[in-house]
Structure 1
Amino acid sequence: MKQAALQRTHELLKIKFEGIKFTIEMERNNRLRFLDVFVNKMMDGTLETCVYRDETHTDQILNYNNNHPMNHKKSCVQTLFKRAETHCSTTELRKKKENYLFRVFQNNGYPRNFIKRSLKKKTTQQQQQREQATRRVVLPDIQNISELTTRLLFQKGIVVAHKPNATLRKLISRPKDNQDKTKRNNVVYQINCNNCNKFYVGQTGRKLCTRIMQHNAAVRRHDPLSLISIHEDQEGHKFNMENVNISAYGDTKHGREFLEAWYSTADSINRCIELDPMYAPLRAKDQLLHRNTQGEPNIGFTSQGARNCWESDQQRSQAGTQRGQQQRST
């Protein structure tokens, strides 16, 4: 197409579709960029293609030391090398691009052995096992635990995908104004005693303010079934109903009860609720983080450690149920 006709076509498109901005990429020195492909017209009229890299590209990719799931890092390696394989039209260009990618990944902390392992193709048996998986679940990524969980669940026919816990969206994104915490529902809350180190942990699916009103009513009538009322009557203390802390959120009653048990320690006035001893290290770490955030007013704290344990506990329970059903069927 002649350049004059090309410019005329461009003008007609802009006139016809005023709401769309059209740009035009012209050929320069027998070279043309098309999306992420760089097309080069050779002297004999043939076309040679390779991967296009923007001039402002800084060679910064997902760093190997970042707290991201390992599968994400493997996918990053596989995607860029796959693009070099599909976009480069000659072996020479592909080798040149692969050497460049090796340097980029190593500059971003990737071990050379990890890059080579990521590029190994899966065996036919692994692909068949993945296709025959009965369930697919998404779990938060926990360093040194997620890989083991993935392998164990994969043996049971469950494919696991991981998502990062800490993201910029969670840290800085606030699309809505802060809601009054007493208006929130599906919460696990903590009420501290003003006169000692005791506290009460409860859960409710309704608004928190409604549950606080019920506690106040139970204290006024000295309800013998209310743990808060019993503590105030026996010790002569007073609970701080004006500043109730939200410890966690749970969409289901079973999940909130698990989180309630998670926060019911020796200093709580709750009736004894035992948890599996394997949760002790994560529980201690999570409660330390929770205490460090108590001074932040009107900010609900979501226990990611407790939620991770709850989700993994659910996975084990479901896996046990499936094994029981399979045994009964055989």
Structure 2
Amino acid sequence: MGSRVAPPLAIIFMDSLERDFNTSASHKPDLYMRYIDDVLGVWTHGSANLQEYFRHINDAHPSIKFTIESTDKTPSIPFLDTSITVEPTGKYTTELYIKPTSAGIILHADSAHPWKTKRAVLHSQIRRAINISSDNSARERSIEKIKDLFLNNGYNMRTISRATSCCQTSRPRPRRRATPVTRLVLPFIDDKLAQTVQAIVHKSGQQNLGVTWTNKQTIKNQLVRSALKPPPCPGGSRCHSCAAGLQGRCHSSGVVYQLTCTLCNRSYIGETGRHIRLRYNEHLRDAKNHRMDSPWGDHFRDDHPRCRPEPQHIAAKILQTCNTSRDRKIAESLWIRTYRPALNTNIASWAVL
């Protein structure tokens, strides 16, 4: 299922197939539930009829073959993350099921995430074990599996025991009506800095202000690339931005950039959501035409009136790549505050403390 559309198509196909073979079957299951490719059913028509039904559904389509596990051969069968045990009396119990082939990997205690996130993951997994289990003994076995999982991922027993006690004694809080909250999105550095910022926000008295921590520097982002090589420059050998120093990156978009006059070393910092080559061409055109009220038009008209601007006169460099317009505005303001470029008329795009 490498394509995004594959799972929905598979589900639609299986739904049509199931309707056909369940309609034509001589005996039908009392309960038939499927999630993707896992099916759970309840059968009360005897083992012989079950085998006949099994052969019937396997003959429904040449490319679809089912396998079967039943409580006739083993008292417990797994379905997704639940192990279902049927006793001789007909009573059944449920508890948490973890595949023997599971890698046992979950958010590690030493990973670069806020501690609040790690604690939430721990609590959610313990609550999952509790909710799946049907009685006290099953609940204890399920919680032990979760304890082993988190111990193997660097969490200490004190933290796990405290979370277990909290989940077993606390009751779910009723949902309150959501109030609008302004989110301050900041890069996560470490827990110490996060706690300091949270304390400052709390002391500010702003009830509708929250902090969301993000970290774009993941291992996946560092190691995985969707393209084997950058796309070719659409301008070819005549691309002005490539000649100005953006060779191989002129197609980049959503960037904060710096342009430097090679004649006097004065610079300008800006941002754009478009391809950087398009924005560079606009700056170069302003310089050539001595456009009024533009940084490069004013600069070459006032400081280099006899120079015919070419790409070698305005060197280009990408300072930062951003995902959103808000991030670009903030990054541009920070770079302007750091470099104090002479050709910028504004101190910053946004006010930066």
Q: Which residue does 1:11 correspond to in 2?
A: 55
Provide, for residues 153-179 of structure 1, a one-character-per-residue CA deviation record: whole Å limited to 9, x for no partner: 796135655554333443344445745
> Is 1:211–2:262 an aligned residue pair?
no
Match of 2:74 in 1: 29
Structure 2 residue runs of 5 or longer lacking an equivalent are 1-44, 234-248
Greater share of helix: 1
CA contact (8 A) 1:187 1:205 kept: yes
Match of 2:331 in 1: 259
1:62: Cα distance to partner? 1.4
Matched, 1:139 2:185: yes
Counterparts in 2 of 1:260-279, with a 5 A limit?
Answer: 260-264=332-336, 265-266=338-339, 268-271=341-344, 274=347
SS of the aligned residue for 1:171 comes to: helix
- The whole-number CA distance in structure 1 between the counterparts of 2:87 and 2:122 is 31
In structure 2, the partner of 1:202 is 270
| One-letter code aligned to 1:247 | Q
Instruction: Supply the distance in 2 between the matched residues of 1:108 and 1:91 (Cα, whole angstroms).
Output: 26
In 2: Cα distance, 1:110 partner to 1:138 partner: 29
Residues in 2 aligned to 1:200 and 1:228: alpha-carbon distance in whole angstroms: 9
Higher-Rg member (1/2)? 2
Rounded Cα–Cα distance in structure 2 between residues aligned with 1:80 and 1:272: 54
1:135-162 Cα distance to aligned partner (Å, 9 max, x none): 3748355133445556737961356555
**Aligned-residue RMSD, C-alpha:** 4.3
Q: Distance in 2 between matches of 1:112 and 1:158?
A: 34
Between the two proteins, the alignment pairs up a number of residues equal to: 278
The change in CA–CA distance for 1:7 and 1:173 in structure 2 (over 3 A counts) is farther
Pair 1:95 & 2:140 matched: yes
CA contact (8 A) 1:188 1:202 kept: yes
1:65 Cα shift? 0.5
CA deviations over 1:205-233 (Å, ceiling 9, x no partner)? 55433332233233334567554563772
Residues 136 and 161 of structure 1 are in contact (CA less than 8 Å); yes or no, is this contact kept in structure 2?
no
Secondary structure, in 3 states, of the residue corresponding to 1:263?
A: helix
Task: Tell me the equivalent position of 1:109.
Answer: 154
Match of 1:302 in 2: none
Give 1:284's aligned residue.
none
For 1:290-305, what aligned pairs fall within 5 Å after superposition? none
1:52 and 2:94 matched: no
Q: Distance in 2 between matches of 1:20 and 1:147?
A: 54
Q: Secondary structure at the match of 1:191?
A: strand
Query: Is there any run of 5+ residues in structure 1 with no aligned partner, and where?
Result: 276-309, 317-330
- Quick check: 2:257–2:270 contact (8 Å CA) kept in 1? yes
Q: Secondary structure at the match of 1:233?
A: coil
Equivalent of 2:320 in 239, 247, 250 = 247
Q: Quote the Cα distance in structure 1 between the aligned partners of 2:68 and 2:341.
A: 69
Partner SS for 1:16: coil
2:257 corresponds to which letter in structure 1?
Y
Is the contact between residue 254 and residue 324 of structure 2 (CA under 8 Å) also seen in structure 1? yes
- CA offsets, 1:49-86, max 9 Å, x none? 32222112343321111112434322321222123212
1:79 alignment partner in structure 2: 124
The secondary structure found in structure 2 opposite 1:156 is: coil
Cα pair 1:190 1:247 within 8 Å, conserved = no
AA paired with 1:63? H
SS at match of 1:104: helix
Aligned counterparts of 2:182 and 2:57: Cα–Cα separation in 1? 46
Paired residue type of 2:92: L
- The residue type paired with residue 259 of structure 1 is A
Q: What SS class does the counterpart of residue 122 from structure 2 fall into? A: helix
Which has a greater percent of strand?
A: 2
CA gap 1:271/1:92 in 2 versus in 1, 3 angstroms:
same
CA–CA distance in 2 between the matches of 1:261 and 1:138?
A: 17
| Correspondences of 1:169-208 after superposition (within 5 Å) | 169-175=220-226, 178-179=230-231, 180=233, 181-194=249-262, 199-208=267-276
Q: CA deviation at 1:201?
A: 1.3
CA distance in 1, matches of 2:117, 2:52: 46
Instruction: Calculate the TM-score normalised by the size of structure 1.
Output: 0.63
TM-score by length of 2: 0.60
Aligned to 1:295: none
Q: Identity, % of aligned pairs? A: 21
Partner amino acid, structure 1, of 2:207: K
Report if the CA contact (8 A) 1:197-1:267 is conserved: no
Letter in 1 for 2:332: E
Aligned letter for 1:9? Y
d(CA) in 1 for partners of 2:66, 2:195: 47
